[in-house]
Structure 1
Amino acid sequence: LNIESDELVVVNCMFRSANLLDETVEINSPRDAFLRLIKQISPRLFIHAIVNGTFNAPFFITRFREAIFQYSSVFDIFEATMPREDRERLLIESEICGKEVLNAIACEGPERIQRPETYKQWQERTRRAGLRQVPLDEELVNRAKTMVKANYHKEFMVDEDRSWMLQGWKGRILCAVSIWQTI
């Protein structure tokens, strides 16, 4: 990797890990290989933001139901916060969310790109890879909660659990962020 010993390395993975294949497709999970690589790089910090989802099931009915729950919350956010005719909204709904829903529900095996796990699953997976979670700064979490409550729609939420900063809508956790270090 050619990392100098005096280099400060921070790995920032924002919502991309949901696209990695898992052990349901490949015996040697690319998710675990990714985390082993992070450990090998030995960054000062590994910032991991994930889509908190449960629609990575191999069974169609379960995946369909969970994807509908997840994306109905996302579309509800748009409905509550953006005009229906908003060009950006239409673009996001059709070109991003619509394609993600179609992929999550209709595709099987390696063709399925959307494979989110819950933050609790990622926490265990990351611990097994040999990384240590950094506790969140309580003051920072409280400031984020205050800012969201004062400036955003009342249904947005920020919370903390197991040193993950959780973000959601109407009580459903949609994404989570945590910070890790190598042991």
Structure 2
Amino acid sequence: MAIPFSYCPVKISNMEEIHERLFNVKAGEFVVVYAPVVFGSLLYDPILLRNTINVIRKLRPQILVNSEIEGQHNSPCFANRFVEGLFYYSAYFDCLEAVLRDRNNLRRAKYEEDGKERSCTHYLCGLVGESTIVSNRAWNLFCVLS
């Protein structure tokens, strides 16, 4: 199976520098965009997020891989935030238990500490809008409306 393939990573120091001319896309090429946890990290700046989505749209990718954590953690209602946080962190800590069974593992302790800190800060204390975890429905709407 001789399928021609080339991988052309684009390295930028700041997402404000992203522009479609940085990508050497030739007419007729099959374009795939792999963006793991890129969009969620841009939620703090909606203009930058919109610009990034527009650049990707201009590349006209046949496939876009967007891997983000799914949830609705920005509700103004405490009860909703609490329930969403409970579901999310139950899955988070169950995953740690399944993958890092040794409770004395330093990496596991670090992940657990990070998880506890985020849950208290974002969900229980009510820092609405600070979370970078939104629902798939919100991503779909944002991409359509951008």
**TM class by smaller structure:** 0.5 to 0.7
- For residues 107 and 37 of structure 1, the distance between their equivalents in structure 2, rounded to whole angstroms, comes to 34
Between Structure 1 and Structure 2, the one with more helix by share is: 2
TM-score under structure 2 normalisation?
0.62
Q: How does 1:99-138 map to 2 (within 5 A)?
A: 99-105=117-123, 106=125, 108=127, 112=130, 114-129=131-146
Which whole-Å deviations, capped at 9, do the CAs of 1:64-97 have from their partners, x for residues lacking one? 3211221122112223441211222112111x32
Whichever structure has more strand as a proportion of its residues is 1
Instruction: List, as ranges, runs of 4+ consecutive aligned residues in structure 1 with deviation greater than 3 Å.
Output: 7-10, 28-34, 41-45
How do residues 1-183 of structure 1 correspond to structure 2 at under 5 angstroms?
A: 1=19, 2=21, 3-6=23-26, 10-21=32-43, 31-81=49-99, 82-94=101-113, 96-105=114-123, 106=125, 108=127, 112=130, 114-129=131-146
Tell me if the contact between 1:19 and 1:116 (Cα under 8 Å) persists in the aligned partners.
no
Aligned length: 122
**1:64–1:30 CA distance, 2 compared to 1 (3 A):** farther
Would the aligned equivalents of 1:10 and 1:44 in 2 still touch at CA under 8 Å? yes
CA RMSD of aligned residues (A): 3.1
The structure number with the bigger radius of gyration is: 2
Tell me if structure 2 keeps the 8 A contact 1:104–1:115.
no
Shift of 1:29: 6.0
